[in-house]
Structure 1
Amino acid sequence: MQTPDFSDARSRHRAIAMLTALVVVLVLTGIGVYGLIAGPPTSNEPGTDDRDQPGPAVTAHPVPTTTPRLPMVRPSADPETFARTVATVLFSWDTGSGFLPLDYTSVVLTVGDPSGAEQAGLAADIASYLPNREAWVELRQYATTQRLSIDDAYIPDAWADALAQAQPGQLADGTIAYTIEGTRHRTGVWNDETVTSEHPVAFTVFLVCAPTYDTCHLLRLSQLGNPLR
């Protein structure tokens, strides 16, 4: 009677196991890279959740031929115009520019309330909208950039209730809120191919304008994904 060749069976089993493991690794690597470029759902804070580990090393990219520049919040006495500008600059960054999250934070802080009363809180608000330093380093491997397209900007109905409930003198004259709704666009490079992602975002910016100041200034930001309606 012919005996079964167990060595051949074991070899086939090992080959199948190795092939299965390789497929799993490739799938997980793809998910990790997509998550890094796409970022977290908008209900979470991007400063704490963009921490996916990258996949294999990517191809080095050429050094930019032009001098990178930080975005700038242009002054305006019109509340809606100013709110839109703040929102656009807040979401505009380029990991390949040589700048760090703190540099982008400082840009928005320069248009904060000159009294300084909300400066510490505003700095924390801005930081929650940006990747932290560790995530920034990872995203830079993929030459990740971000921008915002605004669909709507409006004074939320809830702001009237907030004004009605405020104590006399609690809010400076000209304090107003604008809710911004739009789409966050991210672009990166993976294996010399462009990868993009889009996520809807909504948040509220709190401003103080005339008659307190000649131009508008930023007071605070709501939690991303938790705006006034």
Structure 2
Amino acid sequence: MLVRSPTARLWHRVRLALGIVLGCLLVGFTAYGVVSTVTRNPRAADPVITSSGPRAVAPQAPPDLAADGERAPIDATPDPAAFATDVSRAIFDWDTTGPVDLAEIKGRLLAVADPTGHEAPGLVADLAGYVPSAPTWDFLTQYSTRQWIEIRDVAEPAQWARALAAAGEDAPAPGVTALTVTGVRHRAGVWQGEPVRQQFDVAFTVFVVCEPSYPTCYLLRLSQLDNPLR
């Protein structure tokens, strides 16, 4: 008889509890393509708009992503909120003018993926909706584009608590949790020789497994961008 590991059973149990299929949590690349430029599409005069819309730019300096060369790996921690925060910054903080490339951005995240390997392929698919494709990265490089996230809140969503209550004996393994991150995605670059900046509200859910299943946290999956558990 095949016995599933606790993390392998996670998505089966969550689907039963929430009454949804895993495909609803997978990230599609189409939505990301809408915001693939700094603030404007070079083939059109109108500003690029996301579903949440652009907001007035607050004075905030972007993090210095390029000065130290290769970025450090995501810190090992047993704290789910701290881990979700580090994961969020690893996803959103990048600079097309620096030494860090797409492979390194994804590699830092996959290095802390589900240690059993069961959720790793799904996580790769999830990241496609957060990290630019190679052609998009090359396009953004032309505009010296930088991106970073300003995190406003990291909290367990009520939907997750309800799902656990409904799951009963089918509850996920100990230490598995969901954390919804809300914040502001900033972008800065150069358009027609002038510096430009824009920002957008973002929200997403990070699914992690921590103590007591493992001594430190690991990344299982990501929700669809701007379609988090609430």
The aligned residue for residue 41 of structure 2 is 32
State the TM-score, normalized to the length of structure 2.
0.70
Name the CA distance, whole Å, in 2 between partners of 1:101 and 1:109. 12
Q: Do 2:186 and 2:198's aligned partners in 1 also have CA atoms closer than 8 Å?
A: yes
Instruction: Return the structure number with greater helix share.
Output: 1
3-state SS of paired residue (2:129):
helix
AA aligned to 1:202 is: A
Name the CA distance, whole Å, in 2 between partners of 1:174 and 1:39. 40
* Greater RCO structure (CA 8 Å; 6+ sep): 2
Deviations 1:138-169 (A, max 9, x none): 10001101000001111100011221233646
Name the CA distance, whole Å, in 2 between partners of 1:74 and 1:42. 33
3-state SS of paired residue (1:97):
coil
Name the CA distance, whole Å, in 1 between partners of 2:41 and 2:203. 26
* Runs of at least 5 residues in structure 1 that lack an aligned partner in the other structure: 1-29, 44-64
**What RMSD, in angstroms, separates the aligned Cα atoms of the two structures?**
2.6
List aligned pairs for 1:51-90, cutoff 5 A. Answer: 68-70=69-71, 72-90=73-91
Task: Return structure 1 stretches of 4+ with deviation > 3 angstroms.
Answer: 33-36, 165-170
The aligned residue for residue 193 of structure 1 is 194
Shift in Å, 1:39: 5.7
Aligned: 1:139 with 2:140? yes
Q: Do 2:70 and 2:99's aligned partners in 1 also have CA atoms closer than 8 Å?
A: no
The aligned residue for residue 60 of structure 2 is none
Q: Do 1:147 and 1:185's aligned partners in 2 also have CA atoms closer than 8 Å?
A: yes
The aligned residue for residue 104 of structure 1 is 105
State the TM-score, normalized to the length of structure 1.
0.70
Name the CA distance, whole Å, in 1 between partners of 2:73 and 2:152. 21
* Runs of at least 5 residues in structure 2 that lack an aligned partner in the other structure: 1-38, 53-65
Deviations 1:46-81 (A, max 9, x none): xxxxxxxxxxxxxxxxxxx95632353111111111
Moved more, 119-128 or 98-107: 98-107
Q: Do 1:175 and 1:207's aligned partners in 2 also have CA atoms closer than 8 Å?
A: yes
The aligned residue for residue 223 of structure 1 is 224
Q: Do 1:89 and 1:108's aligned partners in 2 also have CA atoms closer than 8 Å?
A: yes
Shift in Å, 1:194: 1.1
Name the CA distance, whole Å, in 2 between partners of 1:169 and 1:31. 48
Q: Kindly tell me: are residues 206 and 40 of structure 1, through their superposed partners in 2, closer, same or farther at Cα, counting changes over 3 Å? A: farther
3-state SS of paired residue (1:205):
strand
The aligned residue for residue 209 of structure 1 is 210
Shift in Å, 1:102: 2.9
Shift in Å, 1:93: 1.0
Q: How many residues align?
A: 179
Name the CA distance, whole Å, in 1 between partners of 2:150 and 2:204. 13
Shift in Å, 1:131: 1.3
Q: Kindly tell me: are residues 222 and 189 of structure 1, through their superposed partners in 2, closer, same or farther at Cα, counting changes over 3 Å? A: same
Shift in Å, 1:34: 9.6
The structure with the larger Rg is 1
Q: Percent identity?
A: 42
Name the CA distance, whole Å, in 2 between partners of 1:77 and 1:124. 25
